[in-house]
Amino acid sequence: MNARVVVLAAGVALLAGVPLAATLAGQPYYIDLIRRVMVFAIAAASLNLILGYGGLVSFGHAAYLGVGGYAVGIFAFYGVHNGWLQWSVAIAASALVALVIGAISVRTRGIYFIMITLAFTQMLYFLAVSLEEYGGDDGMRLKVKSQFSGLIDLDNPVAFYYLVLVLLLGVVYLVHRLVNSRFGLVLRAAKSNEARSRAVGFSPYAYRLVAFVIAGAICGLAGALLANHTAYIAPAFMEWTRSGEIMFMVILGGMGTAPGPALGAFALLLVEDLLAGWTQHWQVILGPLLIMSVLFFRRGLAGLLPRGGDDG
Amino acid sequence: MNLILVFEQLLNGVQFGVMLFLMAAGLTLVFGIMNLVNLAHGSLYMVGAYLMVAAAQWTGSYLAGVALGLLGTLGVGMLTEVIALRTLYERDHLDQVLATFGLILFFNELVAIVWGRTALYTSLPAWLQGHLEIIPGSIYPVYRAVVIGVGLAVGAALWYVVARTRLGMLIRAGASNRTMVAALGVNIRLLYTVVFGFGAALAGLAGLMAGPIYAVQPGMGELILIQVFVVIVIGGIGSIRGALVGALVVGIVDTLGRAFLKPLLGHFISPPAAEAAGPALASMLIYLLMAVVLAVRPEGLFPAKSG
């Protein structure tokens, strides 16, 4: 047991205690807030797989939040409330969209990659806006949340909270295992030196594309969660500022670290919540804060944790 | 659909393309020379539009508003460069994207604080309000024709400055080897600030010309910014010629798609289906175009040699 593991375990214990504390304090709002943060932490963890370990600066990750969300919403629109089906399709559809976007964009490098992923997400955004049947610009309500054959009731805020917590831990663990597998080794090698990894016989394209698809699929799950969390699906799920926020969570928390994305999600969304409670013009403060964190705070929050573990 | 309508929409496409070009030229110059990805370029477009509206109301003169709007955006651009962006040149693209993303939030909210969130509409002076008969039987708004003319003139002037003047020589030299230019005694920091200021003024020009056609509101810059990304990805990042070609292609394809895709689809599929698919497809058209271009030429149509 090293110090880092102890700190992280304490963090998880703290999260597990939130519903109890919030209920005792008579502030159920916090269950809702932290649940939302954890949904975004899942999205950020998936982006971390390609951004932090793969070096693919995707500026369009919100696309899969939208695809996952709309998968749930469209099924519910036609009266299909089976969560197993909804969520599997959300994940599969996100993976498919990621495969198409990735097949084109992973071929390109640097700034092209940033702009192309952004542009494709914008395309999906406008597609959602033009779907009049599903609410167009305004989006649509999710009248009935996903049903899991009576196993878990998402209308119960505490049960839903623990489901999101378990999924978050699962996703963080999955990403951790992935990047430490042979597959992840190739992915990280291609990030640190593409020429050398080619020289030892690996073509990075296939590895990057697979990572891109996995990241999209996980983020699709986050989209399905977000749709159930807000009970609403709108094109705003895919707004490009959303992609920027998810990216910021990864960087702020510390990219290429297992706990980083979750830490970043907490820091960003809690600061947002704090500022928004203080003034409606909170973005005028948040913007410069973000700039300063980029300029002066380069290691990310995970860099503040005690060293240990194998991610560096 | 008749030929006159097609002609008018084609002109509208050129007009939109010209505006995209003014934005793309600044963005691609800044990227080609300073190696800076500036997401806040759209904010400068918005700042230009707002400053012009405010200055026109203050002075009561349209032309004074234009002049002050341009100067103001130049100033805001240079100030932003000195305060926030200068330290970013040495950083990787990721840091640049995030920092300029922060700038966007700041500018959008600042504008909302000063002028409010509701859209502003600008009125044109009488001499810009009429219509021209360009070809017999077709009338076209004077203002849109002026936008096309101004855009093409600025494009020509830009070409002249970059290709034929000492400043342009320094700009091209700075793009290919900044260390060498600095070693030859050129104040490269000042050069960068000036180039950034010019790019900002071009974005401001696009913004203040857009004001009377579209709504002036917070966030207006980001809508066009992403289309400008499509333009420079298609044209090739860092290339002004690519920006021009890309801008015209995107402007025309987008405008014609929005105007004619729905009736055109109606010939092939049932009208209700065309009603639903037309707008969806039209709004996706330029992104599909980009995907096709990239599949064939991953570096864009006119890849710049440097950067």
As given in the structure block, the two tokens for residue B34 are 């300073």
Tell me the domain boundaries of chain B.
15-296
Across the interface, whether the CB atoms of B280 and A127 are under 8 A apart is answered yes
Taking CA atoms, what residue in B is nearest to A107? B298
Q: How many CB atoms lie within 10 A of CB B67?
A: 14
- Using CA atoms, how far apart are residues B57 and B28, in angstroms rounded to an integer? 33
- Check CB contact under 8 Å for B97 and A247: yes
Residue B247 pLDDT > 90: yes
Where does residue A149 fall: left (phi above 0), alpha (psi -120 to 50 degrees), or beta otherwise? Answer: left
Residue A132 C-alpha, separation from nearest chain B C-alpha, in angstroms: 8
Write down the pLDDT at residue A310.
Answer: 47
Q: Which residue has the higher pLDDT, B219 or B41?
A: B41
pLDDT band per the 50, 70, 90 thresholds, residue A41: very high
Phi and psi angles of residue B132, each rounded to the nearest 5 degrees, phi first:
-110, 150
Range of the domain at A154: 29-239
CA distance A117 to A212: 11
* CA distance linking residue B86 with residue A144, whole number of Å: 51
**Are B102 and A290 within 8 A, CB to CB?**
yes
The Cα of A197 is separated from the nearest Cα of chain B by a number of Å equal to 22
Residue in the block written with tokens 């509101």: B217
Q: Looking at CA atoms only, how far is residue B229 from chain A in angstroms?
A: 6
Subunit contact A107:B298, Cβ cutoff 8 A:
yes
B294-298's contacts with Cβ under 8 Å and 24+ in sequence apart are B294/A104, B294/A105, B294/A107, B294/A108, B294/A112, B294/A116, B294/B233, B295/A104, B298/A107, B298/A108, B298/A112
User: How high does pLDDT run on average in chain B?
Assistant: 87
Q: Assess whether pLDDT exceeds 80 at residue A13.
A: yes
Burial class (CB in 10 A: 0-12, 13-18, 19+), A26: exposed
Identify which has the larger pLDDT, A225 or A137: A225
Q: 3-state DSSP call for residue A257?
A: coil
Count of domains in chain A? Answer: 1
User: Taking CB atoms and an 8 Å cutoff, what residues of chain A touch B288?
Assistant: 123
| Predicted confidence band of residue A312 (pLDDT cuts 50, 70, 90) | very low
Enter the tokens of residue A49. 């797989």
Query: What is the value of ipTM here, to two decimals?
Result: 0.84
Under an 8 Å CB criterion, which residues of A touch B? 51, 57, 59, 104-105, 107-108, 110-112, 114-116, 118-120, 122-123, 126-127, 129-133, 240-241, 244, 247-248, 251, 281-284, 286-291, 294-295
Partner-chain contact A290 B233, CB within 8 Å: no
**Contact yes or no for A116 and B222 at CB 8 A:** no
Counting residues of chain A whose pLDDT is more than 90, the rounded percentage is 47
Say how far apart CA A260 and CA A271 lie, in whole Å.
16
CA-nearest residue to B110 within chain A is A284
Q: Is residue A260 part of a domain?
A: no
Share of chain B above pLDDT 70, in %: 98
pLDDT confidence bin for B51, thresholds 50/70/90: very high
CB atoms within 10 A of CB A25: 9
Distance in Å, alpha carbon of B27 to nearest chain A alpha carbon: 12
- Which residues in chain B have Cβ-Cβ distances shorter than 8 Å to A127? 280, 283-284
Determine the pLDDT at residue A131. 84
Inside any domain, residue A98: yes
pLDDT of residue B1: 54
Mean pLDDT of the B156-177 span? 86
Mean pLDDT of A246-266: 90
Eight-state DSSP code of residue B60:
S
Of B101, B232, B287, which is closest to A120 when you measure between CB atoms?
Answer: B287
Mark yes or no for CB contact B101/A283 under 8 Å.
no
Highest mean pLDDT among A172-176, A292-296, B236-240: A172-176
Q: Which amino acid does the sequence have at A42?
A: I
Residue A287 to residue B279, Cβ atoms within 8 A: no
> Which residue type, as a one-letter code, is found at position B165?
T
Distance, in Å, from the CA atom of B27 to the CA atom of B240, rounded to the nearest integer, reads 10
Residue A311's pLDDT band, with cuts at 50, 70 and 90, is very low
Interface test with B, best of A107, A114, A245, A291 (most B CBs within 10 A): A291
pLDDT for res B197: 93
Please indicate whether, in this complex, the C-beta atoms of B287 and A247 are within 8 angstroms of each other.
no
CB contact under 8 A, A240 and B288: no
| H helix intervals, chain A | 3-24, 29-51, 62-77, 83-105, 110-130, 157-179, 182-192, 194-199, 204-230, 240-253, 260-278, 283-296
- Which residue among B95, B101, B108 sits closest to A244, beta carbon to beta carbon? B101
Q: Residue B306: its pLDDT value, please?
A: 43
Amino acid at A150: G
The pLDDT of A40-60, averaged and rounded, is: 93
| DSSP designation for A258 | S
Residue A22 located in a structural domain: no
Q: Report the 3 state secondary structure along A71-107.
A: HHHHHHHCCCCEHHHHHHHHHHHHHHHHHHHHHHHCC
A24 in a structural domain: no
In a domain, residue A58? The reply is: yes
Angle at CA of residue B278, ends B277 and B279, nearest 5°:
100
Task: State the pLDDT at residue B66.
Answer: 92
Residue B181 has pLDDT above 50, yes or no: yes
Chain segment B261-289, per-residue pLDDT in tens: 877 877 777 777 777 777 778 888 898 89
Question: Cβ B101–A290 below 8 Å, yes or no?
Answer: yes
- Closest partner residue to B109 (CB to CB) among A115, A244, A283 is A283
Average pLDDT over residues B99-125: 88
**CATH architecture under which domain B15-296 falls:** Orthogonal Bundle (1.10)
Of B99, B109, B280, the CB nearest to A131: B280
Interface test with A, best of B87, B98, B234 (most A CBs within 10 A): B98
Cβ contact A248–B280 (<8 Å)? no
Give residues with Cβ within 8 angstroms of A301, minimum separation 6.
A252, A253, A254, A260, A263, A264, A267
